[in-house]
Chain A
Amino acid sequence: MQQYEAGNYDVIVVGAGHAGSEAALAAARMGSKTLLVTINLDMIAFMPCNPSIGGPAKGIVVREIDALGGEMGRNIDKTYIQMRMLNTAKGPAVRALRAQADKNMYSQEMKKSIEQTPNLDLKQAIVDELIVEDGKIEGVITNSGAIYRSQAVVLTAGTSSRGQIIIGELKYSSGPNNSQPSIKLSENLLELGFELDRFKTGTPPRINKNSINYAVTEEQPGDEEPHHFSFETPDSVYLKDQISCFLTYTSTNSHEIIRENLHRAPMFTGIVEGVGARYCPSIEDKVVRFSDKPRHQLFLEPEGRDTDEIYVQGLSSSLPEDVQLAVLRSVPGLEDAQMMRTGYAIEYDVVKPYQLRTSLETKLVKGLFTAGQMNGTSGYEEAGGQGLIAGMNAALSVQGKEPFIMKRSDSYIGVMIDDLVTKGTNEPYRLLTSRAEYRLLLRHDNADYRLSQMGHDLGLLSQERFEFFLDKKEQTAIELERLKNIRLKPTEEIQSFLESKNLPPLKDGIVAYDFLKRPQVKYDDVMEFVERKELSKEVKEQVEITIKYEGYINKAIRKADKVKRMENKRIPENIDYSAINGIATEAIEKLTRIQPETIAQASRISGVNPSDIAILMVYVEQGRIQKVAIEVE
């Protein structure tokens, strides 16, 4: 193949899925001349699995992406067909927004945003090789011989990396949804010395919406009350005409069919090598592992406004096609189902994430970043979050600036990246609220409070958005102060209100602020007794949460503060751990492999004991003292 020089860029992003799109947009918006290459221009931000965005933890990641100036929140707000707030009966920390997306529109809108972004070129190409010189990335070479040079490269190849689709006895080389796989890039990574793992994920069959008997299913409509992902989408544009999902269940007959055909299931025949996720099991997995469950939930989710395809959530499978069809038709409501796409499992390569820094730059090749499913995660939101961070850091590295790193107490994105690079993962990693030790600080409602300043400082969040946030912040502060200075007297009105809420009457006057601390009392209730101010519902929400959960929030802040000093104790690069007297052998091995960046990170590595940390701290501290001494001389 004759090669040719095809152009010079600051940053090249390889792959335009959910990670790649965010990465390219972030780099370009931060002023880097950016190239985004993808195998198929018609599959930008494509949803090869469920047509939805958000949910617990994941929905908060979308808000975080939005608060930092990323695209996912805006894009889903433009293209949703249903919106629901989950966990509304629970506390504020676990509320989560989820949208059903119009899958095609989602992809098209993302493509449009990319095309309209200055500094950003979009091309269809397959990258076969990375150009690496002296341990530093210099560019990429495509299968058609084009050489693109750059100072930073972000790889977001996802399940395309030597992807193999498996349906029963059938196995073939393919990217997601029968797209072309990327083969040579994986081989190139191995040649460069990267360690790869093999993971597995899967998707259920799609059926025609006109072949469903809805009478026996349960309708699940969207919310009436408006909510959006992006902090900039106004309630006024909330979609009235939403499309419902429907709930049905597998039958004992379905389970019988699966059991009878287990000998043909790849997971039992040994065709599958990759490790699947516990939280994303196939239906055959569920039937085997939870054999006493008489039925499993199935959600029928529309894939868009202009398509008849329905995604059957809960029926992910790699059983042979005929078995999938038989199982589908054993489900109440799906007796006449027409299967439009067959479910499949897909195996793919992942870069073992211990090879990454918390900036998502690889330790092996300077200027090379990886993000998304390629780093062992699962989910569009997880991919988007990483893509954003990798894109930012690629741009920052080109500018010669320090990387942008989030702490576990900053965001779910920070939790995820720390988990990946510190603990690694032996299955596709999904964010759960229980992975966050500071869940109460990482809320859906306060993502802008946590991250707007960072997004603004990075040059990603627009000035307009930042000012909008500052205004909200100020109004919240003023209202909090006001409520601290209003005293409520035990009037008849208040007492009868308290009685109606089954609360004890006031004995004495009380400041409005403290009155609102009662879990049963809402902000709007308090406004019955004090002068009402015109505030947005977001400001009211902040005021209420801040007051009501103050005790718990402070507890969480204290917990986070305790670790902060450890977070700020940085460990120099390339420490020869074996030369440190007294660290246990297992710890030496782990520390050498992971090369933690801070003492806090080191302390989270399993197998590294507190005594190892104590000695490491002494060593690090000693290094500092030595340096100071030299400077004095």
Chain B
Amino acid sequence: MSIEFDTIAAISTPPGEGGIGIVRISGDEALEIADKVYQLGNKKISEQVSHTIHYGNIVNPKTNTKIDEVMVTVMRAPKTYTREDIVEINTHGGVMATNKVLQTVLQFGGRLAEPGEFTKRAFLNGRIDLSQAEAVMDVIRAKTDKAMHMAVTQLDGNLSNLIKNLRQEILLTLAQVEVNIDYPEYDDVEEMTSKILVEKAKEVKEQVRQLLDTASQGKILREGLATAIIGRPNVGKSSLLNVLLKEEKAIVTEVAGTTRDVIEDYVSVKGVPLRLIDTAGIRDTEDIVEKIGVERSRKALADADLILLVFNQSEPLTEEDRKLIKVTEDHNRIIILNKMDLETQVDIPELEGLVDKESIIQTSIVTQAGLDELENKLADLFFSGQTGEKDATYVSNIRHIALLQDAETALEEVIDGIESGMPVDLVQIDMTRAWDYLGEITGDSVQDELITQLFSQFCLGK
């Protein structure tokens, strides 16, 4: 956790519930960052009057891709919760979009807020009075300890080793640059040329990029594969759910999301973590088709990584079934033909014309037939049939993702600096930053590391 008064950002709404997510940015650079990611003509957030709200888009300025359509609230210090400049971005794209907006904000200047950090700032900036101090202290202590514990436990051994290796590579390079600077007459070390440095930066950046590419997969591993079970009433959704939620398999986990803690239903199927999203909704309402037009259901679909589309195979496909096939066609889905203990009425060739044949499974909840096949299918789908990927390294924590992005940007700046002809000792500043960011992930950022490296690697002295 950084203790600097830099600009922080986080999602400030509980996840899942409600169609709106708020990304809050607080600090001196809040408006500047908002300017970078907000787009609507020439409008600038920093030029807006305090305590006003503005329609626009969040756009990644680097790739020029639109992230979400938003409302942005501008609140200038000191009349804000933290007594700092605050920008709140109201997204209405659900959890995924809110997360993306947050990641974009983090990529262009903010740091992910630690749990309780907005409140801590409010306090430290004199917003909360003395009577609340003790309580705040407890919150900070509880949340910080938990966050630290989480940070450690979430850091998978593979990832940790990988990052440690990357840091070591950077360190060797840095030591060589440093020895050239602090011992310019020392002859035993190759002069660290721009060429070597840029090669090293590119190499490390490539590896950081690869880690970031796994990030979305990693997120699934950690947060579970968001799975929605849908189908007409009475096709057996609830039974399927109950089967999946079998006592021995069900794990009720308190998931630390990026900003807050919620309890969700988790099941592990052949090592694939499934997060049954919006399950309450599915349990309560049987007339999902009617609700397709409804925001909530659309959101459930949008958020899903996987759809389990259930049909009753003892009845012919209905118009509603066909509609469901249509609205889920862009999703990863498994078509479950349930009630196979009864006579088949569904026109299988017709169905195979509508959906991928491979995605069809026949089951019977009553006889338990086909359930193993379903579980295998889930596992295959997740691991893409490549067993090797089970050992792959995943980056799952949004804090880690943000730090990797920072490291990547710093490495890009190394490359840009060298390409525009800057001296090695200047671009080295960005190389050091990349090293620091990676160190924040593994919790190693001891300044003396470099000096220790210098003297163990080179024979220096008078």
Contact = CB atoms under 8 A, between A and B. Distances in A.
B184 interface: yes
Given A279-B460, A289-B459, A91 B141 contact: no
A584 B184 CA distance: 43
A318 B208 CA distance: 49
A447 interface: no
A247 to B, nearest CB: 8
A621 to B, nearest CB: 6
B124 interface: yes
Contact of B137 (A90, A289, A313, A618): A618
B387 interface: no
Given A518-B421, A611-B148, A621-B124, A316 B462 contact: yes
Contact of A286 (B421, B429, B461): B461
Interface stretch (A325-333, A347-355, A427-435): A427-435
Nearest to B416: A551
Contacts of B130: 622, 625-626, 629
Given A296-B459, A582-B137, A90 B422 contact: no
Contacts of B3: 566, 599, 603, 610, 613-614, 617
B136 interface: yes
A462 interface: no
A201 to B, nearest CB: 10
Contacts of B429: 439-440, 552, 555-556
Interface in A375-413: none
Interface residues of A, number: 66
Contacts of B4: 562-563, 565-566
A94 B178 CA distance: 10
Interface in A505-541: 518-520
Contact of B451 (A293, A435, A555, A610): A435
Given A293-B459, A297-B187, A621-B124, A56 B182 contact: yes
Contacts of B448: 423
B280 interface: no
A237 B448 CA distance: 41
Given A566-B4, A613-B3, A618-B133, A91 B123 contact: no
B451 A432 contact: yes
Given A582-B137, A611-B140, A615-B141, A56 B184 contact: yes
Interface in A231-286: 277-281, 286
A433 B124 contact: no
Contacts of B178: 432-434
A610 B144 contact: yes
Contacts of A435: 447, 451
Nearest to A614: B140
A552 B462 CA distance: 33
B308 interface: no
B256 interface: no
Of the candidates A204, A286, A299, A621, the one having the most CB atoms from chain B within 10 angstroms of its own CB is A621
B446 interface: yes
Interface string A314-340: 101000000000000000000000000
A124 interface: no
Contacts of A49: 462
Interface in A601-616: 603, 606, 609-611, 613-615
Contacts of B129: 625
A563 B451 CA distance: 23
Contact of A87 (B141, B181, B462): B181
A281 B451 contact: no
Interface string B437-456: 00000000011101100110
Contact of B461 (A89, A279, A610, A626): A279
A555 B423 CA distance: 16
B24 interface: no
A435 B446 CA distance: 11
A91 B428 CA distance: 11
Nearest to A580: B137
Interface in B251-310: none
Contacts of A96: 184
A622 B137 CA distance: 10
Interface in B394-422: 417, 420-422
B141 A552 contact: no
A570 to B, nearest CB: 14
Contacts of A613: 3
A423 to B, nearest CB: 8
Given A277-B461, A281-B460, A622-B133, 4 more contacts: A90-B425, A296-B459, A617-B120, A618-B120
Interface of B: 1-6, 114, 120, 123-124, 126, 129-130, 133, 136-137, 140-141, 144-145, 148, 178, 180-188, 417, 420-426, 429, 446-448, 450-451, 454-455, 459-462
Give 8 closest A-B pairs by Cβ, nearest first. Answer: A91-B423, A519-B421, A610-B1, A611-B144, A278-B455, A290-B459, A562-B4, A94-B181
Interface of A: 49-50, 56-57, 86-87, 89-91, 93-94, 96, 204, 277-281, 286, 289-290, 293, 296-297, 299, 313-314, 316, 423, 432-435, 437, 439-440, 518-520, 549, 552, 555-556, 562-563, 565-566, 581-582, 599, 603, 606, 609-611, 613-615, 617-619, 621-622, 625-626, 629
